[in-house]
Amino acid sequence: MCYEKKIYHLTSPIFIFMGTLIMHRLKIGFFVVILLYGCGPNIKEPKVHVTKNVTMYTGNLKCLGKQIKKSDQAFKVTAAVGKIQDKTGKAKGLGKPLTQAASDMALTALSRLNAMDIVAPIDTNDLLHLNIEKHNPTPTKLELKRQGNIGGTFKSQFYLTGAITEYNEDLGEKSGGLDIFRKYLDLGISGSDEVFSVAMDLRLVGSTTGTLLKNQKQELLALSLKNDIHVKDFNGVLFRIFNAGLEKGGGINYGFRISDPKHLAVREIIEKAVFILIGKLYEVPFEQCEMTTPGEAKLGGAVAQYMSKQDQGYAQQVLEVVPTKELAEWESVDIQYTMLSTKTYNKDDSTPCREYYITTIRGNRKEGSKGTACRQPNGVWKDV
């Protein structure tokens, strides 16, 4: 049986019909795409990652609060926070102030103790929300505003006050660059360094006397702290760098990511000042609460005896940034090191911990050691 071959031209009715149908469907599809994705380019929404805003001293404050509770002194006094100003001169037309949030940072630091009642700094706009009748039924809102300090209405026994007194930039260059970890961090070939310094003078003042507080040892509760910050910038990725107390350069010892180094410098000073001042005020053994610093950390178990401060810093960095079961290697004088994190997990309180294995080769001798380290609230890994 033979079939007749039919040839259709593009101008034939069937092609015109099919073409019209296809164009109609394309228009509907295009319209749906516009409704779903809009007319502009498809831009991915940025990932929002909210984390706790802590410093190297946050854990110290929580530990101190527990000591105060243990000594049966908790919540027996009320503290307040005064105005902590920026007196570096930058607020006088010589540039933007370093921060206007120092008093708020101090309030947060005191609250982290969770061991005393606190009168919060109150803005005049907040007075509309306060129920002041049971404290003092006579003052009007205007009279409260004139007081400025509302200590007569909401009483405290002492308050924390002070100022940012120094700020210096470009203090010099420091060598180093997280070289052996760059492949794990996806960083550029080089980075720029910034070194700056912030100083603050803080004190505890009696709310009724206006004088500096003293503890039972007759120590005046005032101090001046200075914080030197070394920041390395890799194409917008900032690292806070520690040199672990090295006397002579020697490269990077330890570093972790940060977002705002200048505010971090102020917050660190305030938290450390609150830790020292409140610890002395309550006369508890607050020194026991100090977290291990990068320079004091001793990782490595049996091979720790061979490790310099710089080697300890490298071991810290392996635990901080190198993925599980990826090998990290470095050399130090006549010793070759190899370190591998074998397992990563979180404890019940969400503290991250890592099991690791580290080996050393000295001449023809090879030694190894296993260990487990957990990350302290100040960011430093410590063997457990």
pLDDT-above-90 percentage for the chain: 39
Bridge partner residues of 238 (DSSP): 233, 258
276 and 323 inside one domain = no
Q: Which residue has the higher pLDDT, 383 or 138?
A: 383
Question: In which residue are the tokens 């079939």 written?
Answer: 3
Task: Please determine, for residue 39, whether its predicted confidence score (pLDDT) is greater than 60.
Answer: no
Res 195: pLDDT: 85
* Residue that is last in its domain, among 289, 314, 336: 289
311 and 369 inside one domain = yes
Q: Is residue 76 part of a domain?
A: yes
Task: Please determine, for residue 265, whether its predicted confidence score (pLDDT) is greater than 70.
Answer: yes
Q: Is residue 32 part of a domain?
A: no
Residue 198 amino acid letter: V
* Residue that is last in its domain, among 289, 315, 346: 289
Question: In which residue are the tokens 């405290």 written?
Answer: 156
pLDDT digits (tens, 9 = 90+) for 88-118: 876 454 557 788 899 999 999 999 999 999 9
Report the number of distinct structural domains present in the chain. Answer: 2
Mean pLDDT throughout 135-150?
46
Question: At 296, is the pLDDT very low, low, confident or very high (cuts 50, 70, 90)?
Answer: confident
* Residue that is last in its domain, among 289, 321, 347: 289
Question: At 240, is the pLDDT very low, low, confident or very high (cuts 50, 70, 90)?
Answer: confident
Res 71: pLDDT: 96
Range of the domain at 319: 301-383
Calculate the average pLDDT of the chain.
77
Task: Please determine, for residue 18, whether its predicted confidence score (pLDDT) is greater than 90.
Answer: no
Res 8: pLDDT: 43
Question: At 134, is the pLDDT very low, low, confident or very high (cuts 50, 70, 90)?
Answer: low
Q: Which residue has the higher pLDDT, 204 or 297?
A: 204
Residue 56 amino acid letter: M
How many whole angstroms separate alpha carbon 189 and alpha carbon 191?
7
Q: Is residue 5 part of a domain?
A: no
How many whole angstroms separate alpha carbon 172 and alpha carbon 192?
12
Task: Please determine, for residue 215, whether its predicted confidence score (pLDDT) is greater than 70.
Answer: yes
In the sheet that 381-383 helps form, which strands lie side by side, from edge to edge? 327-332, 335-346, 352-362, 365-375, 381-383
CATH number of the domain enclosing 229: 3.40.50
Res 149: pLDDT: 46
Res 298: pLDDT: 85
190 and 123 inside one domain = yes
User: Half-sphere exposure of residue 290, counting CA atoms within 13 Å on the CB side?
Assistant: 13
Tokens of 370: 């296993």
204 and 315 inside one domain = no
Mean pLDDT throughout 301-308?
90
195 and 83 inside one domain = yes
Q: pTM of the full predicted structure?
A: 0.70
Residue 208 amino acid letter: T
